C-alpha cells in the first residue's frame, strides 16, 4: 500500500472515532507540551541568571562565613555544607582587614539582610531590608532613579536613612515623591534619601522589593552585628586568583579563622555553578515531562490493540482480496504514528502559547529553541513507532480465515 493511501486511510479511521482519538492523543499532547515548556523555563532562568552575574562584572569576589565547594554542590545539591547561623564567625572589622590586605578599602563592601514590615501611615509592605555600606552600591552596580545612596558619613554615624526599590515606593507612597519622606521600621523612623532604579524580576524574585540601610544602623535595629557576605572588587578578572590568596591569608592570620570557617567565591565560579545547576534542572524537568510521553505511548498502544480487535473482520476481508502482511502492518503503524505526530504538533503549539503567556503574566523570560522543539517532536514520533509496532504486527499476523469468522 502506498504511503499516501495508508495515510488517507489512517486519517479516515481517526476521524470516525474523534473522541477516542482525541483522548488517545492527550498523553502525547501533554508530554510534548510539558517537555518544551519546562525546558524553556529552565533555559530562560539560566539565561537570566547568567546575564545578571555578567552585569555585575567578572572581577567580583564573595567572602561568605561558611565552607562551600560550588563544584561539589553542583554535582550533589544535598552537599551544601551550610552551617547554622550561630556558626558565623565574621565580624564587621573584617571589612577593614580585607581592605588593608588588598590596599583598596573602597573596593570592599558588607551586607546583612533581614525581613521586616515597612510602614507609612496605614500602608504596610513586607520586604527585605539589607544593611550595607556606601562602597557596596558601586561595587554591585546599583543605581538610583531619584535622590542618592547614603554616604560613608551616614554609615559612620549610624543614621536612620533608607534607599528603597520602586515596588516599595509605589506600595507605600503611590504617586507621591518619597524623597524626604519617612518610613517606620521596628518603631523607628527612617528618612528616604533615594529610590533605586527599576531592575525587574529575577527568578520570580522582585528586585525592586529591596530596601537598603547603613549596616551600622541594622546592627542597632535588628541586632545584625555579623555580616552575611563581604563583597570585594578585584582590580581585574586576571588578578582575582592573586587577590583571593591575599584575602585568605589575611583572614587566617589576622582574624584567626580556619579555612573551614569561610569561603571565597569568584564570579567565574558562581557562573559555572549557575550553569551546572540550571543544566541539571533542565535535565530533571525534561525527564519528568518525558514520562508523560511514555504514558501517552502506552495509551496509543492500548487503543491500537482495541482497534485491531474491532477491525478483525476488516483485516480478514483485506487479506482475502490480496492485501499482504506488510500492507496491514504499515497501515496500523501509520495510524499509531499519525496519532503521535498530530498530538506532538498540538503540544508544540500549546507549549509556545503557554510560554508566551507565562512571560506576559510573570514578566519572566522563557527560551524555546528549535533544538528543543525538534527533540520533542522526534521523541513523539519515536513513541508512536515504538508503541505502534506491537499492535500493527499483531494485526498483520492475523489468519484471514479466522478473521472472517470473527464476530
Chain centroid to Cα 215, Å, comes to: 31
pLDDT (0 to 100) of residue 205 = 72
Q: Are 216 and 321 within one domain?
A: no
Q: Are residues 297 and 372 in the same domain?
A: yes
The reported pLDDT for the residue numbered 179 is 95
DSSP annotation string for 18-75: HHHHHHHHHHHHHHHHHHHHHHHHHHHHHHHHHHHHHHT-S-EEEEESS---HHHHHH
Report the number of distinct structural domains present in the chain: 2
Range list of H helices, 158-266: 166-173, 215-222, 240-254
Domain end: 256, 287, 312, which one?
Answer: 256
Q: Is 264 a member of any domain?
A: no
- The answer to whether the beta carbons of residues 176 and 157 sit under 8 Å apart is no
Find cell 565574621 and name the residue.
90
Whether residue 251 is found in the same domain as residue 322: no
- Do 335 and 224 share a domain, yes or no? no
Q: How far apart are CA 7 and CA 54, in angstroms?
A: 52
For residues 221 and 298, membership in a common domain is answered with no
224-236: pLDDT as tens digits: 888 999 999 998 8
Residue 173's pLDDT is 94
Same domain, 35 and 104: no
Residue 64 lies in a domain: no
* pLDDT at residue 120, rounded to an integer: 95
Three-state DSSP class for residue 376: helix
- Asked if the structure places residue 269 within a domain, the reply is no
- In-domain check, residue 288: yes
All residue ranges of the chain with pLDDT < 50 are 1, 80-86
Q: What is the pLDDT of residue 157?
A: 93
Position 366 scores a pLDDT of 81
DSSP sequence for 279-338: HHHHHHHHHHHHHHHHHHHHHHHHHHHHHHHHTHHHHHHHHHTT--HHHHHHHHHHHHHH
Residue 83: its pLDDT value, please? 46
Residue 262, domain member (yes or no): no
> Would you say residue 41 lies in a domain?
yes
SS3 for 196?
A: strand
The verdict on 372 and 252 lying in the same domain is no
pLDDT recorded at residue 383: 87
Kind of pairing between the strands at 210-214 and 161-164: antiparallel
User: 247: domain range?
Assistant: 90-256
Choose the final residue of a domain: 224, 256, 288: 256
Residue-wise pLDDT for 143-180, tens only, equals 899 999 999 999 999 999 999 999 999 999 998 999 99
Q: Are residues 157 and 305 in the same domain?
A: no
Domain presence at residue 188: yes
Of 225, 256, 287, the residue at which a domain comes to its end is 256
Report whether 71 contacts 79 (CB < 8 A). no
State whether 123 and 247 are in the same domain.
yes
Tell me, yes or no, whether 70 lies in a domain: no
Distance, in Å, from the CA atom of 282 to the CA atom of 317, rounded to the nearest integer, reads 50
Which H or E element spans position 205?
Answer: strand 205-206
pLDDT of residue 75: 54
Report CA 13 to chain centroid distance, whole Å. 42
State the pTM of this model: 0.68
What does the pLDDT read at residue 104?
93
Kindly state whether residues 132 and 203 are assigned to the same domain.
yes
- The b/e string for 213-233 (b: 16+ C-beta within 10 A; e otherwise) is bbbbbbbebbebbbbbbbbbb
Query: Would you call 386 helix, strand, or coil by DSSP?
Result: helix
Which run of H or E residues covers position 162?
strand 161-164
pLDDT for 56 equals 61
Distance CA 70, CA 85 (A): 20
Does one domain contain both 182 and 230? yes
Query: Do residues 325 and 249 share a domain?
Result: no
How far is 370 from 185, CA to CA, in rounded Å?
Answer: 50
Amino acid at each position: 500500500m502506498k504511503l499516501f493511501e495508508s495515510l488517507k486511510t489512517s486519517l479516515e479511521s481517526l476521524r470516525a472515532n474523534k473522541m477516542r482519538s482525541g483522548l488517545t492523543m492527550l498523553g502525547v499532547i501533554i508530554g510534548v507540551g510539558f517537555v518544551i515548556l519546562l525546558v524553556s523555563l529552565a533555559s530562560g532562568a539560566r539565561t537570566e541568571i547568567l546575564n545578571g552575574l555578567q552585569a555585575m562584572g567578572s572581577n567580583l569576589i564573595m567572602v561568605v562565613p561558611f565552607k562551600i565547594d560550588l563544584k561539589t554542590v553542583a554535582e550533589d545539591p544535598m552537599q551544601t555544607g551550610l552551617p547554622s547561623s550561630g556558626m558565623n564567625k565574621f565580624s564587621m572589622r573584617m571589612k577593614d582587614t580585607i581592605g588593608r590586605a588588598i590596599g583598596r578599602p573602597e573596593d570592599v563592601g558588607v551586607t546583612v539582610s533581614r525581613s521586616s514590615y515597612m510602614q507609612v501611615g496605614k500602608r504596610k509592605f513586607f520586604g527585605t531590608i539589607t544593611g550595607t555600606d556606601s562602597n557596596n552600591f558601586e561595587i554591585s552596580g546599583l543605581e538610583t532613579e531619584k535622590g542618592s545612596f547614603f554616604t560613608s558619613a551616614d554609615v559612620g554615624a549610624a543614621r536612620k536613612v533608607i534607599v528603597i526599590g520602586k515596588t516599595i515606593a509605589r506600595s507605600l507612597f503611590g504617586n507621591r515623591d518619597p524623597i524626604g519622606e519617612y518610613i517606620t521600621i521596628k518603631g523607628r523612623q527612617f528618612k528616604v534619601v533615594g529610590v533605586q532604579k527599576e531592575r525587574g524580576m529575577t527568578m520570580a524574585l522582585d528586585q525592586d522589593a529591596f530596601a537598603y540601610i547603613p549596616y551600622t544602623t541594622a546592627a542597632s535595629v535588628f541586632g545584625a552585628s555579623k555580616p552575611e557576605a563581604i563583597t570585594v572588587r578585584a582590580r581585574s578578572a586576571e588578578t582575582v586568583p592573586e587577590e583571593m590568596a591575599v584575602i585568605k591569608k589575611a583572614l587566617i592570620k589576622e582574624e584567626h579563622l580556619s579555612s573551614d570557617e569561610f569561603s571565597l567565591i569568584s564570579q567565574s565560579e558562581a557562573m559555572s555553578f549557575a550553569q551546572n545547576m540550571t543544566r541539571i534542572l533542565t535535565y530533571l524537568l525534561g525527564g519528568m515531562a518525558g514520562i508523560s510521553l511514555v504514558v501517552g505511548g502506552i495509551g496509543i498502544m492500548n487503543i491500537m490493540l482495541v482497534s485491531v480487535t474491532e477491525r478483525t473482520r476488516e483485516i480478514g476481508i483485506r487479506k482475502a482480496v490480496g492485501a499482504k502482511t506488510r500492507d496491514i502492518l504499515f497501515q496500523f503503524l501509520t495510524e499509531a504514528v499519525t496519532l503521535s505526530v498530530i498530538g506532538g504538533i498540538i503540544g508544540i503549539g500549546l507549549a509556545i502559547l503557554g510560554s508566551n503567556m507565562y512571560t506576559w503574566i510573570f514578566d519572566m523570560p522563557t527560551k524555546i529553541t528549535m533544538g528543543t522543539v525538534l527533540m520533542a517532536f522526534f521523541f513523539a514520533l519515536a513513541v508512536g513507532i515504538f508503541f505502534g509496532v506491537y499492535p500493527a504486527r499483531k494485526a498483520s499476523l492475523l489468519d484471514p480465515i479466522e478473521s472472517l469468522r470473527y464476530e
